[in-house]
Structure 1
């Protein structure tokens, strides 16, 4: 289950890089890619919740989950700008990416 979550988050992260590149160049990100990015993040969180509910996950999985959940909350904040047709603050984009990357790397550390 953890392997699937890491793959889903990894693919989502690639989309996130494209989205961030748009915003950092003062352009609106493609809406369809934003939705796909959000759906992949949600799917990854659901996989982690399933793993955590089973009760045999290492502590790093819980830490990674919390970080990725915080990143998801930041993603909702970023989406609110997109829906209002305003560019989000670049600092928020960078923080969202950094927290998500920390969560992803925490999960990946379980496999290493």
Structure 2
């Protein structure tokens, strides 16, 4: 459970960067700075890696299925983040609002499911 809880903390910190970037994108109608996006991605990737490692190596009991759902949702969010970075930000094109919303929705749902797996089962 400790690895799931640590992953949740990493995702929570990454979410702060996500909220900042969404605010920049929607309020100023420009892409957020690259350093914020890279830090956000690094923290989220660290949480994703730790979550996957915990699922592969630790006996999580009843939390295993729930944590697996969280992993899938975070993988969907990661795919959206990669598309935003490579297909839009890299080419200096404005991030599409619908993709930002889909990315955020998958990440928030994954985070809520992970919180349930990490803390409700503990």
TM-score range, shorter chain: over 0.9
Instruction: Output one character per residue of 1:32-71: Cα deviation in whole Å (capped at 9) or x when no partner.
Output: 0100000011100110111011152321100000000110
CA-based RMSD of the aligned residues comes to 0.9
2:57 aligned residue:
54
- Is 2:80–2:99's contact at 8 Å kept on the other side of the alignment? yes
Paired residues, number = 112
2:107 equivalent among 94, 100, 104: 100
Matches within 5 A, 1:31-50: 31-50=34-53
2:5 aligned with 1:3 = yes
Tell me the TM-score normalised to structure 1 length.
Answer: 0.96
1:67 equivalent among 70, 73, 80: 73
Tell me the TM-score normalised to structure 2 length.
Answer: 0.88
1:85 equivalent among 76, 84, 92: 92
Instruction: Output one character per residue of 1:56-103: Cα deviation in whole Å (capped at 9) or x when no partner.
Output: 232110000000011000000111211111111101101100000000
